[in-house]
């Protein structure tokens, strides 16, 4: 009787555990900070390299190796273009252009530094963040904002690509 109960217990445990599948979590993190004394917004993004390269390849039909060795100048141009098309900020109703500063690799993540210059004050931010969503509809982009002494966080997804903050 004990052997039969043990057999059935192990059998059901095996069946139940084998029905679970590992699922990758698709997320990118952005830190956005308004620095009034420098009259600019500083943006730091953290995006998984494999996801970014797959998204660039799907969008532009060119295989890229961003963060894997040395990027070719045309790959860096594609990266800048991709950011400018998919990360759009309007400050106080005015569209702003992103200035790409640099990128670095931390393990399997590309850390990218961007700025928006000549911002004297922020009353509202209209943000469109659709990075990687054209490649994977499960992508989520979490943005943490610090401006005017206030901290906010927003979660962007395929169903919520545009959001607004008021200060």
Residue 74 has pLDDT above 90, yes or no: yes
What does the pLDDT look like over 141-158, one tens digit per residue? 999 999 999 999 999 999
How is the chain split into domains, by residue range? Answer: 23-166
Name 29's bridge partners. 46, 142
Confidence of residue 166 (pLDDT cuts 50, 70, 90): very high
Given a contact cutoff of 8 angstroms between Cβ atoms, the answer to whether 109 and 46 are in contact is yes
Predicted confidence at residue 68, as pLDDT, reads: 84
Residue 129 has pLDDT above 60, yes or no: yes
Encoding tokens for residue 83? 């950011």
3-class state of residue 117 by DSSP: strand
The count of other CB atoms within 10 Å of the CB of residue 24 is: 10
pTM of the predicted model over 0.85: no
Encoding tokens for residue 123? 């009353």
Dihedral (CA of 47, 49, 54, 56) sign: positive
């Amino acid at each position: 009787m004990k052997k039969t109960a043990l057999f059935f217990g192990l059998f059901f445990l095996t069946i139940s555990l084998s029905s679970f599948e590992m699922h990758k979590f698709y997320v990118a993190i952005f830190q956005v900070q308004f620095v009034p004394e420098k009259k600019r917004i500083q943006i730091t993004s953290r995006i998984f390299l494999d996801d970014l390269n797959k998204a660039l390849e799907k969008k532009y039909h060119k295989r890229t190796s961003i963060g894997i060795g040395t990027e070719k100048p045309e790959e860096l141009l594609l990266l800048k273009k991709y950011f400018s098309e998919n990360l759009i900020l309007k400050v106080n109703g005015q569209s702003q252009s992103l200035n790409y500063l640099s990128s670095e690799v931390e393990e399997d993540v590309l850390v990218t530094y961007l700025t928006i210059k000549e911002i004297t004050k922020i009353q509202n931010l209209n943000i469109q963040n659709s990075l990687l969503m054209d490649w994977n509809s499960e992508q989520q982009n979490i943005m943490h904002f610090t401006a005017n002494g206030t901290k906010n966080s927003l979660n962007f997804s395929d169903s919520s690509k545009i959001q607004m903050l008021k200060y």
